[in-house]
A = this chain, B = another copy of it.
Amino acid sequence: MLEKNILRTELSELGEFPLIERLTRDIVCRNPSTLKGIGDDAAILAYGENAVIITKDLLIENVHFDLSYVPLKHLGYKAAIVNFSDIAAMNGLPGQMVVGLGVSNRFSVEALEEIYQGLKLACKVYGVDFIGGDTVSSRSGLVISVTVIGEAPLDRIVYRGTANTNDLLAVTGDLGAAYAGLLMLEREKQVYLSDPKMQPDLEGHDYIIGRQLKPEARTDVVKLLLEKEIKPTSMIDISDGLASEIIHICKASGAGCNLYENKIPIDPSTINAAHEFNISPVTFALNGGEDYELLFTVSQSDFPKIKELTGVSIIGHITGKGEGMNLITSSGSQVPLTAQGWDAFLKSGQNQNESGK
């Protein structure tokens, strides 16, 4: 009657990516409609000329979010957005959403309505249909499972493993703000816990807190790329920090890269917050995560089109694999790019800042 456990390898011994590799290595896809299975931001199915894009995220209370400072409506909104962002990362647009909620009786009907309001608002803003819900009982804590279905013409789909040498490396928006916002919220939580009469001091930090609590998915960029007739050679969304995502693109493409520190777009509010915490703003951008911006590569021949786009920064280029993945610092020195990516199990005793991707 007990769990079978002859050999026992702790999850912390493996880490997230090796674990996924071990669990999924023997999986083979055989159905004609399956174009791409495990290994990108989302899976791709093909029906005639249409690509159907499927993505899923599981969010668990006190691992992926902390209700002491995340309002329920924001939580619902963000749970939808992180999935819309995965669809955008395939160069598609989200079309439908299915949500599973696990809730304990600590939550009231009104609390669930708040979560649903956030989910519905995200659907309204992004033109997505909410097509299914499954609400079940949970013994402890809140569990949110969101599946989003997107669409794109088959020939517009962009994977992460198709970057070429000399391609330009581009990123949308600015980076590091969501992580700065998280640190700020965590700091004020600690102040509150030590003295509940203290009021949170979040003044002047609206932008970074907004980026943490109410992120957006860059479906506008997907539309803009189509309009300007630009097809990226590879693309990924930034959920785990810029460094981790660049490494994903390079490894999957069998390539190297040069990333220029002084080209990384960082908002002044993020820089201010970084100084308050005595951390380099570039560290926020490289390792912070949850920006949900798009990182993509384009052929050099698209440079004239790309440089005209507002809110897109060129931050480096793809090199041969032998040249390695490098950060060129502001002082001109070259250091190997390393990811301090999110790891579900090594840090499972702490609060996580990144989504379970």
Contacts and interface: CB of A to CB of B under 8 A. Distances in A.
A101 B19 CA distance: 12
A194 interface: no
Interface residues of A, number: 102
A141 interface: yes
Interface SS majority for chain A: mixed
A276 interface: no
A34 B6 CA distance: 48
A280 interface: no
A299 B11 CA distance: 55
A29 interface: yes
B23 A133 contact: yes
Q: How many of these chains are in the complex?
A: 2
A139 B141 contact: yes
A20 B98 CA distance: 13
A57 B109 contact: no
B10 A131 contact: no
Given A45-B149, A137-B60, A37 B102 contact: no
Interface string A1-41: 11111111111111010011011101101110110111000
Given A58-B145, A63-B139, A101-B58, A107 B48 contact: no
Contacts of A68: 1-2
Contact of A72 (B4, B139, B192): B4
Contact of A112 (B23, B102, B120): B23
Given A19-B112, A105-B345, A129 B60 contact: no
Nearest to A26: B120
Contacts of A71: 4
Given A5-B108, A111-B5, A23 B116 contact: yes
